[in-house]
């Protein structure tokens, strides 16, 4: 039993160092990025999918509007947004995660870091982004969405735009949040939904960003 406890202590110590190393590498790599927008969505989205094509367009337009584009560095929606940014000559950034099905950066990432831990990865997204653009996705995409809403709601970070792309995909979730979580159960504040804007096109994404900055009297460099 004593040997097991000592081994656990040693493992904990190494884990702390690995976590510290991931933060240090990320902070050193990204400390001069400037204004960026994180684009999230499913790694499983095929290049023939309309959302892939939309994400590519949005990556391009964000660069043309003066933003860098940050993604999880993987395939699918992430690849599309990086591709749009890269081909437009802008900053195309990846914050990767070591997973069996998502282990390498896509070919359009120009600056990136790999992470072992999801929580260190999410810190990078939140620390270096002035907005989130969120496409259709799975559990990981929902995790990133609700992490951002929670931190803004609890004032752990300042307000920034959270833009969901795909009315058909997102409407059911938002209707449930309003009808059940907010109206029926009183488990959230109605104002929380005001943090989220749902759109369908790349032009609406840029308009939502502009409207947010004007509403809260902020600039893209806030």
Q: What is the pLDDT of residues 130-162, one digit of tens each?
A: 999 999 999 999 999 999 999 999 999 998 999
- How sure is the predictor about 5, in pLDDT bands with cuts at 50, 70 and 90? low
Mean pLDDT of 57-74: 97
Q: Which residue(s) pair with 24 in the sheet?
A: none
Strand ranges in the chain using DSSP code E only, listed in sequence order? 36-40, 68-71, 92-97, 111-115, 131-134, 162-165, 196-199
pLDDT at position 1 over 60: no
* Stronger pLDDT, 194 or 87, i.e. the higher one: 87
Coil/strand/helix, residue 130: coil
pLDDT at position 41 over 80: yes
Domains of the chain: 2-215 (3.40.50.450)
Query: What is the share, in percent, of the chain residues with pLDDT greater than 90?
Result: 83
- How sure is the predictor about 6, in pLDDT bands with cuts at 50, 70 and 90? low
Please name which of 106, 120, 116, 64 lies closest in space to residue 89, comparing C-alpha atoms. 64
CA pseudo-torsion sign 128, 133, 138, 142: positive
Res 219: pLDDT: 65
Q: What is the mean pLDDT of the chain?
A: 92
CA pseudo-torsion sign 83, 88, 89, 95: negative
pLDDT at position 21 over 60: yes
Res 4: pLDDT: 67
Res 101: pLDDT: 66
Q: Are 113 and 33 in contact (CB under 8 A)?
A: no
In the numeric block, the tokens 């493992």 are attached to: 11
Res 100: pLDDT: 73
Res 222: pLDDT: 44
The CA–CA distances, whole Å, from 120 to 27, 48, 83, 216 equal 11, 32, 24, 29
- How sure is the predictor about 2, in pLDDT bands with cuts at 50, 70 and 90? low
- How sure is the predictor about 118, in pLDDT bands with cuts at 50, 70 and 90? very high
Q: Are 78 and 41 in contact (CB under 8 A)?
A: yes
- How sure is the predictor about 104, in pLDDT bands with cuts at 50, 70 and 90? confident
Res 85: pLDDT: 98
Mean pLDDT of 195-202: 95
Res 11: pLDDT: 86
């Amino acid at each position: 039993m004593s040997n097991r406890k000592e081994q656990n202590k040693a493992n904990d110590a190494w884990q702390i160092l690995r976590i510290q190393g991931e933060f240090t590498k990320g902070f050193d790599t990204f400390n001069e990025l400037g204004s960026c927008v994180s684009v999230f969505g499913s790694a499983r989205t095929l290049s023939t999918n309309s959302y892939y094509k939309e994400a590519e367009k949005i990556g391009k337009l964000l660069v043309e509007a003066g933003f860098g584009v940050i993604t999880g560095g993987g395939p699918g929606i992430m690849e599309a947004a990086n591709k749009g940014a890269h081909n437009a000559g802008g900053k195309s950034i990846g914050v990767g995660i070591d997973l069996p099905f998502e282990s390498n950066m896509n070919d359009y990432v120009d600056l990136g870091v790999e992470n072992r831990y999801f929580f260190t990865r999410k810190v990078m997204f939140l620390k270096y982004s002035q907005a989130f653009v969120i496409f259709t996705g799975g559990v990981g995409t929902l995790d990133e969405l609700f992490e951002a809403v929670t931190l803004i709601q609890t004032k752990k970070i300042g307000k920034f735009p959270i833009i969901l792309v795909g009315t058909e995909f997102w409407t059911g979730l938002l209707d449930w949040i309003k009808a059940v979580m907010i109206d029926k159960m009183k488990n959230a504040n109605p104002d929380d939904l005001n943090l989220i804007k749902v759109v369908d096109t790349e032009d609406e994404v840029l308009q939502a960003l502009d409207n947010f900055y004007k509403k809260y009297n902020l600039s893209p460099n806030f």
